[in-house]
């Protein structure tokens, strides 16, 4: 394979690279755009695809990596050749699939943490009591349990050794299982997901936030991880390290590196409290319980209030990943405290590649009053034309 370097004279334009998480999402992904070359950048016909390392710097020795991936030819004009920066989509699904008792395709529920009275997926035929075995830890009757309309039925079960279990005695009412899954916290969930995605997992800060829920709807795995990460106060991003694809999980309460910005190191620093005025944060979910010879659903609601309960938005968390009300309230408290922090944005010279989750300490004495504080980076925007990088994140600011 031939390797060549394209220097600034051969490149007419580069995209402004943006790394950011979506609203209420913990996945830091890229928005890359396109690269335009001068017609003399290639000695012959431009290739349909280029595998590239995009680096920024004065010399090869000092240049740092911005992007590693592929460029796809989009347009060939007499005075310019344009390539789209391509980032492969992760289309792996969250849930395993199987067949139901009618032989039709179905998804298999995913058990995370300790759950009560989840409905298993039936399989085999409608004349046998055969079910896909949920991913509970241990053995049925000892570590996890079966119920018929809330009545314990731990006997007469056989593990078929093929991911299914069968009961030799008929089940009269609604069959449910209760127990603890092999995945119990965000770190274990991401390790399991990385195995499915063929990624190396870097768990930077432990990932011990507990989870307990049953997932029954199929979706793209990365999209699911994005919501769980945000719920738990984490972000994650993908990168390549010496040919190995890595997923790094980072807590927003801890540092993925630390840097210090003095007042003259930054081109500008701004502070915004406009979206930090929150009156309350609430969540609603249901739990399943055995009562009066049946399985019943009970709705639970929790609400926490902001520092100023008089003004601000009343927000609702659209999803929870716990059944325990105390655990949900803990997550609501964290999300509220985080979103009440001001958004700090700073423009600095492009001399290195910042990292998502990196803590930046700053001192700003160019305004009428002095401001000092810190923020953790969640958004990064590289502007090659201006040779600058815009950093954004929530943090703590003290104005004196």
- For the residues of 302-341, what is the DSSP string, one character each? EEEE-S-SSSSEEEE-S--S-SSHHHHHHHHHHHHHHHTS
CA 323 to chain centre: 21
Task: Give every CB contact of residue 268 below 8 A, 6+ residues apart in sequence.
Answer: 346, 347
Contact status, residue 389 vs residue 347, Cβ threshold 8 Å: yes
- Tell me how far apart the alpha carbons of residues 359 and 356 are, in angstroms, rounded to a whole number: 9
- Rounded to whole angstroms, how far apart are CA atoms 298 and 289? 7
Tokens of 5: 């370097």
Residue whose tokens read 């700003």:
364
Q: Tell me the whole-structure pTM to 2 decimals.
A: 0.90
b vs e for 375-387, b when ≥16 Cβ sit within 10 Å of the residue's Cβ? bbbbbbbbbbeee
How many angstroms separate the CA atoms of 157 and 140, rounded? 8
In this predicted structure, what is the pLDDT of residue 29?
Answer: 83
> What is the rounded CA–CA span in Å between residue 354 and residue 384?
15
Which letter does DSSP use for residue 225 in this model? H
Instruction: Give the three-class secondary structure for 141.
Output: coil
Q: What is the tally of helices (H) and strands (E) in the chain?
A: 3, 32
Per-residue pLDDT of the chain (400 residues; tens, 9 = 90+): 455 666 667 888 877 777 887 767 889 887 778 889 998 888 888 999 988 877 766 566 766 666 777 899 999 998 999 999 887 778 999 999 999 999 999 999 999 999 999 999 999 887 889 999 999 999 999 999 999 999 999 999 999 999 999 999 999 999 999 999 999 999 999 999 999 999 999 999 999 999 999 999 999 999 999 999 999 999 999 887 877 889 999 999 998 999 998 766 777 888 998 777 888 999 999 999 998 889 999 999 999 998 766 677 889 999 999 999 999 999 999 999 999 999 999 999 888 888 899 999 998 877 677 888 999 999 998 887 788 899 999 999 998 7
Q: List CB contacts of 193: < 8 A, sequence separation 6 or more.
A: 221, 225, 247
Question: Exposed, middle or buried by CB within 10 Å (0-12, 13-18, 19+), for 365?
Answer: exposed
Token digits for 217? Answer: 């709807």
Residue 167 CA to residue 114 CA, distance in Å, equals 23
Q: How many residues does the chain have?
A: 400
Query: CA 242, 244, 245 angle in degrees (round to 5)?
Result: 130
């Amino acid at each position: 394979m031939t390797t060549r370097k394209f220097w600034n004279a051969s490149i007419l334009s580069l995209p402004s690279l943006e790394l950011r998480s979506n609203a209420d999402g913990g996945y830091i992904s890229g928005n890359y755009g396109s690269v335009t070359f001068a017609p003399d950048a290639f000695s012959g016909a431009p290739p349909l695809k280029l595998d590239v390392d995009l680096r920024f710097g004065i010399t090869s020795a000092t240049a740092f990596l911005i992007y590693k991936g592929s460029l796809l030819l989009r347009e060939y004009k007499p005075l310019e050749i344009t390539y789209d920066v391509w980032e492969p989509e992760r289309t792996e699904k969250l849930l395993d699939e199987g067949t139901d008792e009618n032989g039709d395709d179905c998804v298999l529920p995913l058990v995370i943490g300790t759950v009560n009275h989840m409905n298993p997926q039936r399989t085999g035929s409608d004349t046998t009591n055969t079910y896909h075995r949920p991913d509970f830890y241990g053995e049925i009757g000892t570590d996890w349990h079966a119920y018929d309309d809330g009545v314990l039925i731990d006997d007469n079960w056989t593990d078929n050794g093929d991911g299914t279990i069968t009961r030799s005695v008929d089940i009269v009412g609604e069959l449910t299982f209760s127990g603890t899954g092999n995945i119990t916290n965000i770190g274990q969930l991401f390790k399991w997901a990385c195995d499915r995605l063929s990624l190396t997992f870097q768990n930077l800060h432990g990932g011990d936030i507990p989870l307990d829920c049953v997932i029954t709807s199929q979706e793209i795995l990365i999209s699911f991880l994005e919501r769980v990460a945000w719920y738990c106060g984490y972000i994650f991003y993908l990168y390549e390290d010496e040919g190995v694809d890595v997923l790094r999980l980072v807590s927003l309460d801890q540092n993925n590196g630390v840097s210090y910005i003095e007042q003259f190191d930054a081109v500008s620093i701004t502070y915004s409290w406009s979206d930090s005025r929150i009156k309350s944060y609430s969540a609603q979910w249901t739990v399943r319980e055995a009562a009066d010879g049946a399985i019943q659903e009970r709705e639970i609601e929790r609400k926490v209030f902001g520092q100023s309960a008089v003004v601000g938005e009343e927000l609702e968390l659209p999803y929870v990943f716990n059944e325990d009300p105390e655990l949900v309230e803990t997550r609501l408290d964290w999300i509220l405290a985080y979103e009440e922090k001001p958004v700090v944005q700073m423009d600095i010279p492009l001399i290195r590649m910042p990292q998502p989750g990196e803590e930046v300490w700053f001192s700003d004495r160019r305004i009428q009053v002095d401001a000092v504080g810190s923020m953790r980076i969640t958004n990064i925007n590289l502007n090659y034309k201006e040779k600058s990088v815009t950093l954004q994140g929530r943090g703590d600011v003290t104005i004196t």
